[in-house]
Structure 1
Amino acid sequence: MNLVSDFLKLIIPAGLVLYGMYLTVKLLLEREADRHRYDTKNRYTEAVVPIRLQAYERMTLFLERISPNNLLLRLGGSSTTVLDFQQRLLQEIRDEYNHNLSQQVYMSQAVWDQIQAAMNDVMTLINQASGDTRPDAPALELSKRIFERIIQKEKQPTADALKSLKDEIQGMFM
């Protein structure tokens, strides 16, 4: 009996010390894992946030460049007939879109869908305005028809997409 009690006197304190060491090592390892996750997240954020901001900037520029006001001012003297001007405007929009296609990776699907819808609205606006004029009429006629349609709608076709883009950017940082 004396042997058992002596044995327990040694085992119980040793067990408590081992258990305490286990808890200490476990806590240290958890803290190290948390620090590693934090460092990884920081490195990811430092790398990705500037790229995402650049993508948002590029898509804002895309929407501004395809807005009818800017598009017509930029390409106003590039064609002589309505048909030529219509084709030139649509090609410019397609080129801008294709140039920025990869930016969709950095934004939400909802915002990307609105950007595509805005582009399609601008193209539809151009096609409808072109349908209101003779193909051989001066290109200035197409510009007038496009502006008339914008005035009727009281809003740029790219306005909603720009607002969504800005809201998403602000949501990231506020």
Structure 2
Amino acid sequence: MTIPVSPDTQGASTRPYLIRALHDWCTDNGYTPYLAVYVDGSVQVPAEYVKNNEIVLNASFEATSSLQLGNDFISFKARFGGTAREIVVPIDHVIAIYARENGQGMAFPAPPAGAQPPLVEGGGAAEAAPRGLRLAETPSAGPAPGDEATPPADEDDEPTPPEPPGGGRPSLKRVK
């Protein structure tokens, strides 16, 4: 006999717990936790740094202040181009969390289509939809020679986080 499971009996989403766990794992191991975020009207990030309705955010304690990894939202303050900005990301818009240094982490499905209008104007929803993350076929070799740790949030340095090793998209490695 199969017992039907309704959405209200499934409990809370596991996504915020997994994000917190991977953030802790990155921090405990000296890695820099990066969040890949799907951006639409419900996400508060600097629009000038959004590409293809996605942004990658350095979520380390050194690069943020007042970091809150809640069950519904992630919020913090960070500097972009020397200007302090308030960042607010709904949990269901986090499409990956990974370590910058080695690409290890976890990807999540993007929010349901039609939940919010896309941020990018001039195109239909199909054109503005993110392409998603791809798992790396081979593990990444780690940071490039001379690659240094991300500076603290109060330093006025490079406004966008460096690209993950191996290209423009994050490389994720399955950890079992």
Task: State the TM-score, normalized to the length of structure 2.
Answer: 0.23
Identify the structure with the greater helix proportion. 1
Structure of higher RCO (CA pairs closer than 8 Å, 6+ residues apart): 1
Identify the structure with the greater strand proportion. 2
Task: State the TM-score, normalized to the length of structure 1.
Answer: 0.23
Q: In terms of Rg, which structure is larger? A: 1
